[in-house]
Chains A and B, each alone.
Chain A
Amino acid sequence: MSNVILLEDETALREGVTEFLEAQGHCVRAVASVAEFAQAFMPASHEVAIVDLGLPDGDGLDVVRRMRRDGLRLGIIILTARAGTQARAEGLASGADYFLPKTIDLTQLSSAVTSLAGGSVR
């Protein structure tokens, strides 16, 4: 259905989310670090990016900001263990469309991906 890139350093989560989204019919490219993301990300084809914030080689927020600064209009979902109003506000201010705190409600994630891929992309 849509092309998704997932940036998540935690293997179990990365594999679980990938498996779930692929079962939903999405095409998922999963990466574990900012460096890998920079290599694998294809601005022209990826419609949705799911980004974790605390990563071994950087902050997911910077990745989100860079994509928006480059004028990319794909849908962005932040998936994070950072809780609290301030983290949410920062996340949304960086240009993300959804801020989903962990634990992940897969149904919620699925509907977010679907809505972003289904034409309501910025």
Chain B
Amino acid sequence: MRWKRWRAVAAELQSLLGRHIGFRFSLSVLLFSLFVALLAASFSVWNGYRKAVSEIDRQFAEIERSFASSLALSVWNLDGVNLGAQLRGILNLPGISDAAVVDPLGRDILRIGAFDGKGLTVRRTPLRHDAWGQVHEVGELRVAASTEDIRRTLVSEAVSGLLGETLRIVLIAAFVLLAYQRLIGRHLRRISVALKTTEDDGLPREFFLERTVLFSRDELGEIEAAFRAMRDRINVSQQELRQSEQRANAIIDNLGDGLLQVRGDGRIERVNRAAERMFGCTADALQQQHVSALFLDAPGSVSQAAVAAGADPRLAGVEVKCRRAGGTLFPADLVMARMTVGRQESQVWLVRDLSERRASEEQRDFVAMVSHEFRTPLAIISTSIQLLMASLTDPGPKVVQRGDNIRHATQRLIHLLDDYLSIDRLDSAHQGLDLQPGDLLEVIESAINDWPLDRIRLRLHGAPAQLLCDPELMRIVLRNLLANADRHSPADATIELDVNGRADGGVSICIRDHGEGIPADELPRLFQRYFRGRFAQGKPGAGLGLYLVQKIVRAHGGTIEVQSAVGSGTTFTLNLPRAGTTTD
């Protein structure tokens, strides 16, 4: 029972020592000091004993010197009284416990003491007497001294000294413990609490040791400073990390393509804003879904694509049908990539919504179809009116005017279709300019053919014979500009068309009318799509002409400028850099 209790106490002590350096520290001091004290006490006992023994030896020698000859004389004379007095004198000496004189045969002559005490040291000295010229062996003196008393005294002295020393040591150890707690322990506890506490921003809590400034540069002070520096470094790198994460997130969120991060089991882990828009629901809603819910034919092409992505880290786009929230479908291009972060593997699915592209392709196809289908009936109308006019022998001026009106109306519809087709062609990534070295004059002439000869005055100054351009589009540019000039100037005014060669080998084409001009506030918006000026109200046009002109000119690497004043006319100047080589 008692043994068990001791073991419990030992375990408690062990855990206390294990948990507190202060206790270990002070226990070490205690044990070491005790050991030293014990060593010192042992030495002092040993040394005292050695001194006592040599004192006894000296005593014995003194006794020999003082008493040997007189004792021998007393034995020779058989003087018992004197012998007894002498032995008692010896016994009175300090430390001597027994004394005896024996005859040469070993029999006692006189004995005081039993010679049987503990720790006795016996010295035997032969007694010799010199008589008649001869030395006679008359007996032997035996003296015993006891070291027991000395030992007892020494030990009791040592024990009492040791007890005092132990008390001192215990006090010192207690003080050591106290000093440790005060100087080191409480600060260490504060540091460890600070290190264990994490603040909202993820940093360990800052701490301040309560110490005077004088001591603030010791080891603990260094730890404090180092901790603060470390906290600052962590703070800085955390901010950097956060910034770089924000940057990465910004990139991901601003991607035009929808991004899905998909786990191995097909659960969606993360989505970007484009994906939210595309699938029409919030990130939270998306993240609860299985990826196959977003794709129409998930068991087919998508799972195959996923398998392929597993085999190949990057997978080229597959076209899939995606399901928007609410069930509508949209076509999309899907690219998958495998991604490993740490030990976690996931896939990144990039979804590009193709519906807009599809819609614009359909629109383009529709415009092309309409253009083609409109042309034949318009051609019939135009041809018929031409034949009708030709068959009249003497049509009046009004009839001629009406015939021209019908022809011009069909012509305008055709041109409108041409313009739409050209815009689509310029917008399309697949088609673009069809550059070829063309005869500049032919392009210009085909454009001015629509008007009577005296309406346009053409002047050429050092113009290159050939121009590297898309002839069809360049014809549209000139036709549109000339049509504008025609529409906005009096019927009897001449439109000037100047074509000049430029120093850099390009060509500058200038179309000037003397019509109503353009108000200054409209000039900045002149080339915008569907813009129509005040003077254009009530006149035909869709607001596409100048928009298309600028688009074509820019596609050719050229510029277009306009100068205009209300009442005095408008000048458009085209600068085209790319000219073909001049033939001959």
Contact = CB atoms under 8 A, between A and B. Distances in A.
Contacts of A85: 434, 470-473
Interface string B417-439: 11001000100000000101000
Contacts of B379: 10, 13, 81, 102-104
Interface in A58-94: 81-86, 88-89
Interface in A81-120: 81-86, 88-89, 101-106
Nearest to A81: B375
A89 B434 contact: yes
Contacts of A13: 376, 379-380, 383
Interface stretch (A16-24, A26-34, A35-43): A16-24
B417 A83 contact: yes
A49 B289 CA distance: 67
A86 B414 contact: no
A83 B375 CA distance: 9
B575 interface: no
Which interface residue of A13, A23, A85 has the most chain B CB atoms within 10 A? A85
B372 interface: yes
Given A81-B372, A81-B376, A83-B421, A20 B387 contact: yes
Interface residues of A, number: 23
A82 B417 CA distance: 12
Interface string B506-535: 000000000000000000000000000000
A12 interface: yes
A39 B390 CA distance: 32
Per DSSP, chain B at the interface is: helix
B376 A83 contact: no
Contacts of A23: 390
B404 to A, nearest CB: 13
Contact of B376 (A10, A19, A84, A88): A10
A86 B471 CA distance: 11
Given A85-B472, A102-B375, 14 more contacts: A10-B376, A12-B384, A13-B379, A13-B383, A81-B376, A83-B372, A83-B417, A84-B425, A85-B471, A86-B434, A88-B472, A104-B379, A104-B382, A106-B386
Shortest 6 CB-CB contacts between residues of A and residues of B = A81-B375, A102-B379, A85-B472, A103-B382, A103-B379, A16-B383
